[in-house]
Amino acid sequence: MLSDIVRILLPAGAAFLIGMGITPILTHYLYAYKAWKKTPGKVALDGSQASEFNRLHEVHEVRAPRMGGIVIWGSVLITIVGIAIIAGFVPSAALLKFNFLSRSQTWIPLAALMVGAIAGLIDDLLVIRPGGTGLALWFRLAVVFLLSLFIGWWFWDKLEVTAINIPFHAPLEVGWLIIPLFILASLALYASGVIDGIDGLSGGVFGSIFAAYALIAYAQNQIDLAAFSAAIVGGILAFLWFNVPPARFYMTDTGTMALTLTIATIAFMTDNLGGGYGISVLPIIGGLLVATVASDIAQVCSKKFFGKKILRIAPLHHHFEALGWPGHKVVMRYWILSIVFAGVGVILALSALQNPW
């Protein structure tokens, strides 16, 4: 058991140290090439100017570079590939145990991480051009849809995942509907990426979520998946070190797209496939992501059908800012809530694991 814990903590520590090491190099080039949005201001979903948001954040959009998410996925990629290469060249039994690049547990989430990272990086590179607006929303959604369609099909056809485990209840058999369910989960999680809106906010929330799934995967004896999740936590902590107010850079799409797609994949891998309850507890562990998406939907529907807003600004964290809460207060309270939600989700998942139907 101790060796399994070390197998999980070592990648987390390695990713953190690598992230801390590559950040000065990355930020040097980001600042040298002025990798920030050139024209401040945001347009609302209905095409109108987001005046309240611009009042609060217009200056910040051109204060620091985008693409800070490179620190996260870059440190994870170097860690997982580096350990695999070292284990390959020095095939000792001890080193082979630390190699968590496995076809059964980490190939799929790593693919989701990197596809999201690359698509988001292209979007960020287009945004930082003079007058740049990034990839069209329909194109980004198409990337998410096609990737999740393939992964969902892989779960159903190759891995024969056809059910969702319900805590303290018999599994819910859904058959091929696991594919559209995964697509919907991926799209919803991608939409929650707008939580990357205040210095330090998204890093703390995402860190809690991946830490929760690392614990769940460990309890299910999915050690490679737990190590992968822990490595992401290490990368997020390195990013967060430089993203606390005032942020040296912002996560933006190359980070949020990578992380949200990976969360969906890990949640499904820790469910029926791993004999656990990863899907059922996702709305709890990711409670703040749910609140973020729900607040956007509620705002749009209220404006469309009733002609008025229910929030000063959507999503919810900006509403609190508009009410007068300092950004750091919103961030710290979101961190606290994210830890609570993650803890409740883990407790529920582990309790159900110990007391199966």
Radius of gyration of the chain (CA): 20
pTM for the full predicted model: 0.94
Q: How many CB atoms lie within 10 A of CB 236?
A: 33
- Contacts of residue 196, defined as CB under 8 A and 6 or more positions apart, other chains included, come to 202, 250, 251, 252, 255, 256
What pLDDT shows up at residue 13?
Answer: 97
Coil, helix or strand for 101?
A: coil
**What are the φ/ψ torsions at residue 314 (nearest 5 degrees)?**
-115, 145
What pLDDT shows up at residue 21?
Answer: 97
Coil, helix or strand for 313?
A: coil
Count how many domains the chain has. Answer: 1
- How far is Cα 166 from Cα 251, in angstroms, rounded to an integer? 34
Beta strands in the chain (DSSP E): 163-164, 172-173
What pLDDT shows up at residue 64?
Answer: 86
- How far is Cα 294 from Cα 179, in angstroms, rounded to an integer? 23
Q: Of 23, 6, 2, which Cα lies nearest the Cα of 83?
A: 6
Q: Check: CB of residue 230 under 8 Å from CB of residue 217.
A: no
Burial class of residue 149 in the structure, from the number of CB atoms within 10 Å of its CB (0-12 exposed, 13-18 middle, 19+ buried): middle
What pLDDT shows up at residue 93?
Answer: 66
Q: How far is CA 343 from CA 209, 212, 281, 284, 287, in A?
A: 9, 7, 11, 9, 11
Structure tokens at 325: 């809460």
Q: Where are the alpha helices (DSSP H) in 220-315?
A: 223-243, 252-269, 282-285, 287-306
- How far is Cα 79 from Cα 90, in angstroms, rounded to an integer? 16
What pLDDT shows up at residue 40?
Answer: 66
- How far is Cα 345 from Cα 342, in angstroms, rounded to an integer? 5
Domain that includes residue 22, residue range: 2-354
Mean pLDDT for all residues in the chain: 91
- How far is Cα 324 from Cα 320, in angstroms, rounded to an integer? 7
Identify whether 315 is preceded by a cis peptide bond (ω within 30 of 0).
yes
- How far is Cα 209 from Cα 339, in angstroms, rounded to an integer? 8
Helix (H) or strand (E) holding 28: helix 2-32
Residues of the chain with pLDDT under 70: 1-2, 40-62, 93
Q: Check: CB of residue 33 under 8 Å from CB of residue 256.
A: no
